[in-house]
Amino acid sequence: MEKGPGVTETYAIRFKSDVRVPMRDGVRLSADIYLPDAAGPFPTVLMRTPYDNNADVMIRKGRRLANEGYACVIQDCRGRFDSEGSFYPFVNEGPDGFDTQEWIGQQPWSNGRIGMAGASYLGQVQWTSAPLRSQYLTCLAPRVMAADLFRGLNYPGGALQLNVLMTWGMRTSGRTAQSIEYDDWREAFRTLPLRDADAAAGRDLPFWRDWLEHPTYDEYWAPHDIEARWGEIAAPALNMGGWYDLYSSHTFNAFAGLRQHGRTPEARGSRLIVGPWPHALSQSTKTGDVDFGARSMVDLEALELRWFDYWLKGIDNGIDAEPPLRLFIMGTNVWRDEHEWPLARTDWQRWHFHSGGRANTLLGDGVLAPAEPTEEPSDSFVYHPEHAVPTVGGNNCCSPHIVPWGPYDQRDVEMRSDVLCYTSEPLEQDLEVTGPIQVVLYAATDGPDTDWTAKLVDVRPSGYAQNLCDGIIRARYRESLVEPSPLEPGRIYRYEIDVMVTGNVFRKGHRIRVEISSSNFPRFDRNLNTGHPIGTDRELHAAHQTVWHSRAYPSHIVLPVIPPAG
């Protein structure tokens, strides 16, 4: 099959439609198979999808891989399109993926080597089948997907990731794609109680109600936590992600987890590329408001093919000798190769919050600086869930026409009195911040529960405020995502907010800003401040919030500063 170093024949194609693959429980899943028109046997790329294996994008990929000398199996997930069974997101994908891999390995056209490909849900089916270790599974290529569904998708920081779960879940609910177009999606997101949101959309979704009935990390979610099972994965993974993807930090978790704990030397040779992209990777030079330039675009299909050529065909194309981590650094808009995550040379700096007690809005007196606070007055605001702070861009999915994703000007949000803004002086030189971001917040509320949100912003000399990353913590889960703990009203608690990740150079003359509030809606559901179980409430209570920054309560952000080269 191989013509020379890194060069392969181009093949005509044979096609097999609706091939029925038996699962262990007798359900048969439908697969379309694209084969090179040659004797074989061939290495195989497997893609498993809930979005129709007959979609144009699937057909094009199947044909392209067959042209390159691969068998390509594209399978409808259980209960979707032509496959038998009932669809319930995530639950059956591990066993179904394993059974499919075992079936492929025994076919006369298979050479016994299988790679998996695909993004989002098509990445989840890779992660969930990998620990089962089919003897034929050789490598993975997951894009934009978390390996821990509880923290990565459903309940980051303990708050329901409402936008993606509602827009995606309501549409991916029957055998075929479901069209739901509300007159006003933002009103739909306000449905109370939340457990009735499926009925309000004309749906009967057991999984929606199950998600709301399991707001803690419990036996329902544990089987979907592959981050706890890195040591069971033998296959290496080529991970692909975006700084503005909702799974950005979890893509890095997958890279670092396999590099450190993978079962085999091959798994510990996993790789990652991250660009300035949203959930749809490398589709445009522009994400949100910002054009990152022609260099921001990467041919991910070509990169993936090199990965498969190396692992499935044994072509010595040098990919194994390249640095394992490739990052696009925003601000300077350059690509850079790295070797580990977080970067070993990181200078972890605390930048503290300061004010004279009036940090409300970008016009307030909030200051961000390395200096530790002295005895300073606290800042306060009122959070009312009826008037929640709106999501403006950010790490969203999956309907940008409903809730846009990526970087946008945050100044309208920052003019709200329920948003505290802590802003640095203009920088005297460039400052690179690349790594995981954390805010440590000392705060109090007057009820049994509330939320705290944080956002990192790059402020240009013009005033344009570009969001970089954000996060949330639901107060009852401040100590544990397993056991909620109600608040004592008025008591000051320490909160650690995961603000995800970024790779950005704050240019000379720019300012660093941190926003603190109690809502980011509809990216996350609104905390109604009652302390009642999620999904059951119709009540909305105002919360009186206080943020402290003093010697005893030094609220701050931890910035992963990368020293300049040389």
Closest C-alpha to 500, from 347, 396, 410: 396
Half-sphere exposure in the Cβ direction for 244 (13 Å, CA): 29
Name residue, tokens 């990445």.
Answer: 123
User: How crowded is residue 403: how many other Cβ atoms within 10 Å of its Cβ?
Assistant: 24
Cβ contact 33:19 at 8 Å:
yes
Nearest-angstrom CA–CA distance, 136 and 234: 11
| 3-class DSSP assignment, residue 181 | coil
Phi-psi label, residue 490: left if phi above 0, alpha if psi -120 to 50, beta otherwise = left
| Upstream peptide bond of 522 is cis (omega within 30 degrees of 0) | yes
How far, rounded to the nearest angstrom, does the alpha carbon of residue 312 sit from its chain's CA centroid? 28
Half-sphere exposure in the Cβ direction for 224 (13 Å, CA): 24
Amino acid identity for residue 303 in this structure: L
Active-site annotation holder among 250, 279, 352, 549 = 279
Cβ contact 545:555 at 8 Å:
no
Q: Which residues of 116-137 are buried (b: 16+ CB within 10 A; e: fewer)?
A: bbbbbbbbbbbbbbbbbbbebb
Closest C-alpha to 516, from 393, 414, 434: 414
Name residue, tokens 């809730």.
Answer: 403
Beta strands in 79-200 (DSSP E): 110-119, 137-143
Closest C-alpha to 168, from 140, 210, 201: 201
How far, rounded to the nearest angstrom, does the alpha carbon of residue 421 sit from its chain's CA centroid? 26
Q: How far apart are the first and last CA of the chain?
A: 46
Cβ contact 447:489 at 8 Å:
yes
* Residue 250 is among the residues annotated as catalytic for this protein: no
Nearest-angstrom CA–CA distance, 383 and 537: 17
Cβ contact 93:27 at 8 Å:
no
Active-site annotation holder among 30, 83, 110, 120 = 120
Question: Strand pairing partners for 275?
Answer: 242
Amino acid identity for residue 477 in this structure: Y
Nearest-angstrom CA–CA distance, 34 and 309: 17
Nearest-angstrom CA–CA distance, 11 and 40: 11
Closest C-alpha to 535, from 545, 523, 544, 527: 527
Nearest-angstrom CA–CA distance, 487 and 449: 6
**Long-range contacts from 532-535, C-beta under 8 angstroms, 24+ separation:** 533/215, 534/160, 534/194, 534/212, 534/215, 535/193, 535/194, 535/195, 535/209, 535/212, 535/213, 535/215
| 3-class DSSP assignment, residue 12 | coil
Q: Which residues are catalytic?
A: 120, 245, 279
